[in-house]
Amino acid sequence: MLAGKRIVLGVSGGIAAYKAIEVCRRLVDAGAHVIPVLTEGARHFVGATTFSALASEPVQTSLWNEVDPIPHTRLGQGADLVLVCPATARLLADLAGGRSHDLLTATLLATRAPVVVCPAMHTEMWEHPAVQDNLALLVRRGVHVVPPEEGRLAGGDVGAGRLAAPETVVAAVEAALAEPDLSGLTVLVTAGGTREPIDPVRFLGNRSSGKQGHALAAEAATRGAKVTLVTTAGLPVPAGVEVVRVDTAAQMEAAVTERAAAADVIVMAAAVADFRPAAPAVEKIKKHHGVPELRLEPTPDILAGLGAAKRPDQTLVGFAAETSDVRASAHEKLARKGADLVVANDVGAPGAGFEHDTNQVVIVRSDGLDEDVPLGGKRAVARAVFDAVLDHRVTSADRRPRDSI
């Protein structure tokens, strides 16, 4: 999504400026062309050499550049997005008031590209009415604001005002540049592996990390959908996503069933246990009592239940973790569960199994238009899944009788 995008990374003078180094690295790793612009204040906290080494171009700091007499105009007109990370109270006031006194503020006034600001300051400053008024004005003008988090601040204080995490900042950049092609759709995603209790201490589980499901939720939210994520994983939740925490297959079934009717797209990425102990012990099983015998019973088949109740205009996506015959198994599951698409992978393949940051899948569809997605980041896989969802919805709508649309 960021490949080839020209991003001006403005760094203003706050202690959180050091975190912009990681943001710069992540943007470059995602394929963006990053042009760092540091204010005089920023250079009290971070070195220009670091950014010049990591970014796509050397750091720029001055309006008075003999090589380029109007650098702010060139930067502003050539940018696909301008990101300010961190944005101090002074920077926000300058931007709100239209004050241009250095290269960064002049660039912000000289661009028509999306602008993303990431405020970071002490709690008292963040909560000051003047700062909040400036932010409200910027939001009305279309500036994207990444709110700060609560946490440890400079000087040992703790409170609101801590710069958002680098992954949150990059996600906000992606959202600002994304085509909102899922706008108007309600998307329900499940993630993680369920845990079926044996006793209050032990459980039957699987190796699913939930990373792919969380990536799917982030992708859907970035593209404008209203997203609910039902998850067993303790991973960060993408901004703007409603989260429902569950543990067992029964809890997941209840959470999904309650929300399924309102969803336009349901993506069952969770690894739901097929079996659970029929009679979990109410107290911890002691080792000296000997090896226990576990009698298992099947868990609810959530995907099949959704397939049986699916509306004609609803899109249902299943996932299949396989160890052999991946494509054939996916097609069999597609037909048996009543899904529209099944995303399958070989969990034994290098980089494509559980807990990896990468994945390699085949997307099989009820209309026969299968797609092989090569090894890549889980966000790239999520992008391919929703591209397939949109394409399927278009072709399905074309095939449905008009009185059912």
List active site positions: 206
Q: Which two tokens stand for residue 203?
A: 């459980």
Tell me if residue 136 falls in helix, strand or coil: helix
Task: Kindly report the number of other CB atoms within 10 A of residue 281's CB atom.
Answer: 16
Ramachandran angles phi, psi of 329, nearest 5°? -65, -40
CA distance 137 to 99: 14
Judge contact between 92 and 117, C-beta under 8 A. Answer: yes
Judge contact between 182 and 199, C-beta under 8 A. Answer: no
Tell me if residue 34 falls in helix, strand or coil: strand
CA distance 125 to 88: 9
Judge contact between 191 and 269, C-beta under 8 A. Answer: yes
Ramachandran angles phi, psi of 4, nearest 5°? 80, -5
Closest CA to 345 of 382, 313, 314, 319: 319
Closest CA to 117 of 208, 206, 12: 12
Judge contact between 177 and 5, C-beta under 8 A. Answer: yes
In sequence order, what are the beta bridge partners of 363? Answer: 343, 371
CA distance 170 to 7: 11
Closest CA to 389 of 234, 223, 198, 250: 223
In order, the DSSP letters of 327-396 are: HHHHHHHHHHHT-SEEEEEETTSTTTSTT-SEEEEEEEETTS--EEEEEEEHHHHHHHHHHHHHHHHHHH
Residues 6+ apart with CB under 8 A from 265: 185, 186, 187, 188, 220, 225, 314, 315, 317, 389, 393
